[in-house]
């Protein structure tokens, strides 16, 4: 019997895909559940997957790999999609696909399957990773084949087969959670005019209910990578978890946005990224102190392109590796400590220091100094503005002005 490895979450879509693959393809289904820090108990998935028809299930702890190999490179790049989205789902998908391919090779499977819809970005992220790592594998995307057209239809399909699913027709938000974030889409959020309901947040305290006193958190970086929080050295997973707790309690990290999907449509989502928001802003503050103007401005261009690559699922590609090389070269001096002030949803810097600081108080002071000759500025301005002056004279002589 041919085998297929299914990226399995135990949610609505992947729960009904197991019997669907058996009924429509005659495959032996091997489920693979990735623990990327979704915070839910994964052990019940073992029984659930087997009960639903899978021959076996792999439950893989990928949290540390997610942080070290995907989150940290993206953080160092400063990549934020369309100014708001910190790429939580986007970074996790290529990692999950990579492990799925590894299991497919181990099990001798000739196909892999996923539960991403034909309207979303995840189908692209999963499949580009598979094509990059194992082009010989067949890819099955049930949402592009079956007659099910809505989450309501999927719930009916599950109920008809006695499959327990963690959603109802009354609360059927499409949600994705990992160590970095929690996303919410669908239902009332599909109308951008609707403010998110107060009870939608799970990781973050609503800002208006956050503490009335600010919290201060100190983050120490080495070569662009966070290594300590409040003076305590933490492993990557524990560090993100600690910042999630501190930031979440203070209402920090909510992004409500209408984004441009790669498939051509706009979609609206609400993202909770508490610890990630603090890390991005702290990292940026440290770069302001340690990177020269030309490097920083060019890196901002790289950040935008890097974000698009991650969002589009082009992780396993030469261009992403090449951009990583550039980013890593810029991070050699991004070492130091940043204190962030968290207060009712706001996250602002309260102090930055680095042994590689390019800030020179003697140069920038408004007080008397002995190392900057202000008369030098006149010659600089004359040369810098010479092209503008020459053009203005030409326009005047030509009667254009």
Q: Which two tokens stand for residue 240?
A: 């993100």
Residue 269 labelled as part of a binding site: no
Residue 144 labelled as part of a binding site: no
Residue 121 labelled as part of a binding site: yes
- DSSP for 121-164? SHHHHHHHHHHHH-TTSEEE-GGGTSS--SHHHHHHHHHHTT--
Residue 330 labelled as part of a binding site: no
Residue 115 labelled as part of a binding site: yes
User: Do residues 184 and 175 make contact, with C-beta atoms less than 8 angstroms apart?
Assistant: yes
Give the chain's end-to-end CA distance (angstroms, integer): 82
User: Do residues 51 and 27 make contact, with C-beta atoms less than 8 angstroms apart?
Assistant: no
Residues designated catalytic: 13, 93, 122, 174
Distance (Å, rounded) from C-alpha 165 to C-alpha 142? 18
**Dihedral sign computed on CA atoms, order 162, 9, 192, 208:** positive
Residue 37 labelled as part of a binding site: no
Residue 149 labelled as part of a binding site: no
Residue 46 labelled as part of a binding site: no
> What backbone torsions phi and psi does residue 138 show, to the nearest 5 degrees?
-75, 145
Residue 7 labelled as part of a binding site: yes
Beta-carbon contacts of residue 72 (< 8 Å; ≥ 6 apart) = 224, 225, 236
Residue 14 labelled as part of a binding site: yes
Residue 15 labelled as part of a binding site: yes
Residue 176 labelled as part of a binding site: no
**Which among 149, 151, 131 is positioned nearest to 139, based on CA atoms?**
131
Q: Where are the beta strands (DSSP E) in 73-119?
A: 111-113
Task: Please report, in range form, the residues annotated as the binding site for ATP.
Answer: 7-15, 34, 115
Task: Please report, in range form, the residues annotated as the binding site for L-citrulline.
Answer: 85, 90, 121, 125, 174, 183, 259, 271
Task: Please report, in range form, the residues annotated as the binding site.
Answer: 7-15, 34, 85, 90, 115, 117, 121-122, 125, 174, 183, 259, 271
Task: Please report, in range form, the residues annotated as the binding site for L-aspartate.
Answer: 117, 121-122
């Amino acid at each position: 019997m041919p085998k297929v490895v299914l990226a399995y979450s135990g949610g609505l879509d992947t729960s009904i895909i197991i019997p669907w693959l058996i009924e429509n393809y005659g495959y032996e289904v091997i489920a693979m559940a990735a623990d990327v820090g979704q915070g839910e108990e994964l052990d019940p998935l073992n029984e659930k997957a087997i009960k639903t028809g899978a021959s076996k299930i792999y439950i893989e702890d990928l949290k540390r790999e997610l942080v070290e190999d995907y989150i940290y490179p993206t953080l160092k790049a400063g990549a934020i999609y369309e100014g708001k989205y910190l790429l939580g789902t986007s970074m996790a998908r290529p990692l999950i696909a990579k492990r799925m391919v590894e299991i497919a090779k181990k099990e001798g499977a000739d196909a892999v399957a996923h539960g991403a819809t034909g309207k979303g970005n995840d189908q692209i992220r999963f499949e580009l990773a598979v094509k990059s790592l194992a082009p010989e594998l067949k890819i099955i995307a049930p949402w592009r084949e079956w007659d099910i057209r809505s989450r309501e239809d999927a719930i009916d399909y599950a109920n008809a087969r006695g499959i327990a699913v963690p959603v109802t027709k009354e609360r059927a938000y499409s949600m994705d959670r990992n160590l970095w974030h929690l996303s919410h889409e669908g239902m009332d959020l599909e109308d951008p005019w609707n403010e998110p309901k107060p009870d939608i947040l799970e990781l973050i305290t609503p800002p208006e209910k956050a503490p009335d006193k600010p919290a201060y958190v100190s983050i120490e970086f080495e070569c662009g990578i966070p290594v300590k929080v409040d003076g305590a050295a933490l492993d990557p997973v524990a560090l993100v978890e600690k910042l999630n707790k501190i930031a979440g309690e203070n209402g920090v990290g909510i992004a409500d946005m209408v984004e441009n999907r790669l498939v051509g449509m706009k979609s609206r989502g609400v993202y909770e990224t508490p610890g990630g928001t603090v890390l991005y802003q702290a990292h940026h503050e440290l770069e302001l102190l340690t990177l020269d103007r030309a490097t920083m401005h060019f890196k901002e261009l790289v950040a935008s392109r890097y974000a698009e690559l991650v969002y589009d699922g082009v992780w396993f590609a030469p261009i992403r590796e090449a951009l990583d090389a550039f980013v890593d070269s810029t991070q050699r001096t991004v070492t130091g400590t940043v204190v962030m002030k968290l207060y009712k949803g706001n996250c602002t810097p309260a102090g930055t220091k680095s042994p590689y600081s390019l800030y020179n108080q003697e140069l920038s002071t408004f007080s008397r100094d002995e190392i900057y000759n202000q008369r030098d500025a006149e010659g600089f301005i004359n040369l810098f503005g010479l092209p503008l002056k020459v053009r203005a004279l030409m326009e005047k002589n030509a009667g254009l002005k």
